[in-house]
């Protein structure tokens, strides 16, 4: 006998509850519990000892280790984010704001793989095949082995997979696909979880590299339960401002490569164009001879990226000064301001402070602390920094400058772009050979860094 059981699931974290709750007991979010019907099938006489065992545990040293094969696309930036290319049998989730260019990116990637002779099946649940053809004409993504289908039923998509036998599968998007066996509407927690689990089995059993497009919420997270990100092998976020031409593809989870890797693209009339040297892009419009502007060398995955930090410190007439940051965590900014006040004697309690990362990049590593401190001090004292300086380092609460990883790569990137001096932690000078043609200044405290940068 099949019994229908009603439960409530949090759309943010996937916590289950027997009744509706205003606040999720798992993550603490409000109004995220949604109703879901579950069909429970009762079986008799089935115990743990009666379950059929198909496989037996084996020692890990007896398992033959093999390098995962890669299918390289013609898009170098996409290969970098994926860890070297597409892995057969992998399940990739791509999220981003509406209109940011997710479908454009995947259609160009599909064409790149189809042009190599691979069979690609592009399932569109939001656009008709004619609309997809119009986009393909604009992008020049026309190949004989690129198959397009407008379908939302899992069973119909399964029949198409059996007919085409693709090497690469795109589902655009997972929120529009539904399983007929589930009573809830497409896009619900039950449908998204069941459809993702179905495509995961298809990818693993048949060895088809599968990409799922996911909608995002107003907070920027991928819609659906958090379980969706745990099920897939790779999670990519396509970021960027709709009013700007540049897009960032960021990996936040990757079982086949490094995380926090980014790929940079420029949106044009003919689709997305790769940006091979992002440092030149972010520094193309930087300010020279202006107080509050510094250049920091940040690591995005395995790639060093030079970006400009801009700070503005101005006197306020209000009792509580404002602290605003874009591209840097505002809690980190408050910590840096506190260090400047306590250790450097700067009176910033009556000053508004604004900190911005030019180009729309988000920097989340502590190596940008020293450059942020120099920018704030430069704007407060109204003393410009030298235009050929690059600064990086982590700041401690006692005012010391801590060492950071991959200092050699940061210095060589600065040298390649023509900078003349690098101000960096003294503890990071050991273990590598200094390149010629660039001056390196090692500092151990914030006061030494400000003396070297601001004279």
pLDDT confidence of residue 51: 35
**pLDDT the model gives residue 41:** 44
| 437 annotated ligand-binding residue | no
Given this model, what pLDDT does residue 44 score?
Answer: 43
List C-alpha distances in Å: 151 to 11, 80, 221, 299, 388.
Answer: 25, 31, 25, 41, 56
| Cβ–Cβ under 8 Å, residues 29 and 13 | yes
Pairing state between β 33-41 and 91-96: unpaired
Residue 264 annotated as binding site: no
Q: Is 359 annotated as a binding residue?
A: no
Reduce the DSSP state of residue 136 to 3 states and report it.
Answer: helix
Asked if 111 contacts 142 with a C-beta cutoff of 8 angstroms, the reply is yes
The segments of the chain whose pLDDT lies below 70 read: 1-3, 38-54, 65-68, 218-220, 223-226, 241-243
The answer to whether the annotation marks 101 as part of a ligand binding site is yes
Give the pLDDT confidence score for residue 219 in this predicted structure: 65
**Can you give the pLDDT at residue 67?**
67
Structure tokens at 130: 């004619």
**Residue 347 corresponds to which tokens in the numbers above?**
């009176």
Question: How much is the pLDDT for 212?
Answer: 95
Sheet containing 120-124: order of strands = 146-149, 120-124, 168-172, 209-214, 91-96, 234-239, 246-254, 262-268, 271-274
Question: What pLDDT is attached to residue 205?
Answer: 92
| 442 labeled part of a ligand binding site | no
Distances (CA, A) of 86 to 72, 250, 259, 318: 6, 15, 15, 55
How far apart are alpha carbons 212 and 92 in whole angstroms? 6
What's the pLDDT score for residue 216? 80
In DSSP terms, 298 is beta-bridged to 305
Say what the pLDDT of residue 53 is: 47
Handedness of CA 384, 388, 392, 396 (dihedral sign): negative
pLDDT number for residue 225: 61
Phi, psi of 59 (to 5 degrees): -60, 145
Task: Please report the pLDDT score of residue 45 as a whole number.
Answer: 37
């Amino acid at each position: 006998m099949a019994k229908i059981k009603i439960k409530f699931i949090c759309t943010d974290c996937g916590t289950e509850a027997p009744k509706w709750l205003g606040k999720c007991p798992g993550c603490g979010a409000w109004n995220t519990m949604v109703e879901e019907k579950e069909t429970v099938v009762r079986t008799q006489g089935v115990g743990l000892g009666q379950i059929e065992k198909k496989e037996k545990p084996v020692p890990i040293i007896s398992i033959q280790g093999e390098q995962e094969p890669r299918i390289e696309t013609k898009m170098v930036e996409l290969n970098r984010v994926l860890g070297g290319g597409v892995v057969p049998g992998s399940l990739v989730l791509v999220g981003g704001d509406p209109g940011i260019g997710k479908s454009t990116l995947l259609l160009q990637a599909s064409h790149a793989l189809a042009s190599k002779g691979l069979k690609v099946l592009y399932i569109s649940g939001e656009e008709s095949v004619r609309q997809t053809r119009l986009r393909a004409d604009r992008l020049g993504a026309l190949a004989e082995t690129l198959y397009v289908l407008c379908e939302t039923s899992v069973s119909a998509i399964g029949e198409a997979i059996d007919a085409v036998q693709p090497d690469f599968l795109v589902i655009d998007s997972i929120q529009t696909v539904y399983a007929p066996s589930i009573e809830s509407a497409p896009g619900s927690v039950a449908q998204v979880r069941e459809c993702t689990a179905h495509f995961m089995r298809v990818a693993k059993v048949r060895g088809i590299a599968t990409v799922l497009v996911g909608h995002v919420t107003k907070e920027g997270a991928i819609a659906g339960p958090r379980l969706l990100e745990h099920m897939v092998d790779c999670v990519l976020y396509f970021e960027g401002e709709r009013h700007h031409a540049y897009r960032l593809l960021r990996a936040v989870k990757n079982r086949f490569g490094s995380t926090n890797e980014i790929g940079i693209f420029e949106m044009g009339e003919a689709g997305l164009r790769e940006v091979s040297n992002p440092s030149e892009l972010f520094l193309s419009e930087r300010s020279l001879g202006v107080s509050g502007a510094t250049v920091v060398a940040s690591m995005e995955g395995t790639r060093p990226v030079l970006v400009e930090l801009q700070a503005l410190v101005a006197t306020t007439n209000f009792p509580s000064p404002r602290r605003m940051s874009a591209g840097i965590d505002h809690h980190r900014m408050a910590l840096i301001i506190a260090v400047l006040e306590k250790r450097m004697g700067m009176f910033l309690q009556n000053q508004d402070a604004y900190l911005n990362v030019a180009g729309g990049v988000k920097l989340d590593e502590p190596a940008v602390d020293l450059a942020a401190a120099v920018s704030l001090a430069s704007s407060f004292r109204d003393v410009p920094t030298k235009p050929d300086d690059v600064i990086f380092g982590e700041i401690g609460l006692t005012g010391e400058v801590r060492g950071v990883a991959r200092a050699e790569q940061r210095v060589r990137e600065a040298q390649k772009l023509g900078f003349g001096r690098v101000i960096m932690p003294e503890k990071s000078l050991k273990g590598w050979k200094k390149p010629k043609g660039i001056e390196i200044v090692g500092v151990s405290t914030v006061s030494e860094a400000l003396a070297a940068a601001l004279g």
